[in-house]
Amino acid sequence: MSELITIFLLFFKMGAVTFGGGYAMLPILRREIVENHRWMDEETIMDYYALSQGLPGIIAVNVSVFIGYKRKKAPGAFAAALGVVSPSIIIITVIALFLANFKDNLYVRHALAGISVCVAALILDAVLSMWKKGVKDKFGIAICLVILALSVFTDISPILLVVACALLGIGKKSLDSKGSSGSGKEAAK
């Protein structure tokens, strides 16, 4: 039970300090899950992002549910989901009902401008760290750069890109293992 509360509070915190979408949550997620709690490694979190991108729903919620499930099965999944949405429900309700001109407030706009500069720097730091952990060979470099270019310059759906890259990964690995006979994965089994 106590770990469920920890999961809820952790994701509550995440929801309360994230500005922007699911990717803006990544720097805080890494800090809390990988470094502070040591629940899983950075690669696992990247895998969850990849899967979340291709599944229905909000990416931030999907990633939270994956992590919650990994810790404490279905109860952990629900604790994480409730945690990450609760701050939004509270904050947005207050604003929608009582602060009609919140978004036009000058102080709010200055503070937000400062926060977004900071968030950009945090995401850059996260991208560099992911590059180090997840892009390990020429194949990875090619995939990463092509996906970056396609996402910036075309309207191709990210879901399509994610599915294509999963298939490319499978294709590349099976071509590789044709060259060398026994694969390491089977031996580990």
Residues in 139-178 at the binding interface with other proteins, rule: CB under 8 A: 139-141, 143-148, 151-152, 157-159, 161-162, 165-170, 172-174, 177
Using CB under 8 A as the binding rule, whether residue 4 contacts other proteins is answered as no
Interface with other proteins in residues 30-89 (CB under 8 A): 31, 43, 46-47, 49-62, 65-66, 69-70, 74, 77-78, 81, 84-85, 87-89
- Nearest CA to 68 among 93, 51, 48, 94? 48
User: Looking at beta carbons only, is 2 or 184 nearer to other proteins?
Assistant: 184
Counting contacts by CB under 8 A, is residue 10 touching other proteins? no
Place of tokens 């709690």: 37
- Shortest CB 6 distance to other proteins, Å: 17
Smallest distance from other proteins to CB 1, Å: 19
- Contact with other proteins (CB under 8 A) among 8, 22, 33, 72: 22
Closer of 2 and 186 to other proteins (Cβ): 186
Q: Is 165 exposed, middle or buried (0-12, 13-18, 19+ CB in 10 A)?
A: middle
Contacts with other proteins by CB under 8 A: the residue count is 110
- Cα Rg of the chain, angstroms: 19
Q: Which residues contact 68 (CB under 8 A, 6 or more apart)?
A: 7, 11, 76, 77, 78, 79, 80, 81
Nearest approach, Cβ of residue 95 and other proteins (Å): 6
DSSP summary character for residue 32? I
- Quote the least distance from Cβ 50 to other proteins, whole Å: 4
Nearest to 81 by CA among 20, 17, 12: 12
Q: How far apart are the first and last CA of the chain?
A: 33
DSSP characters over 134-150: H--SHHHHHHHHHHHHH
Q: Is 111 in the site for other proteins (CB under 8 A)?
A: yes
Is residue 6 part of the contact set for other proteins (CB under 8 A)?
no
* Backbone dihedral region for residue 18 (phi beyond 0: left; psi -120 to 50: alpha; all else: beta): beta
Nearer to other proteins, 7 or 143 (CB): 143
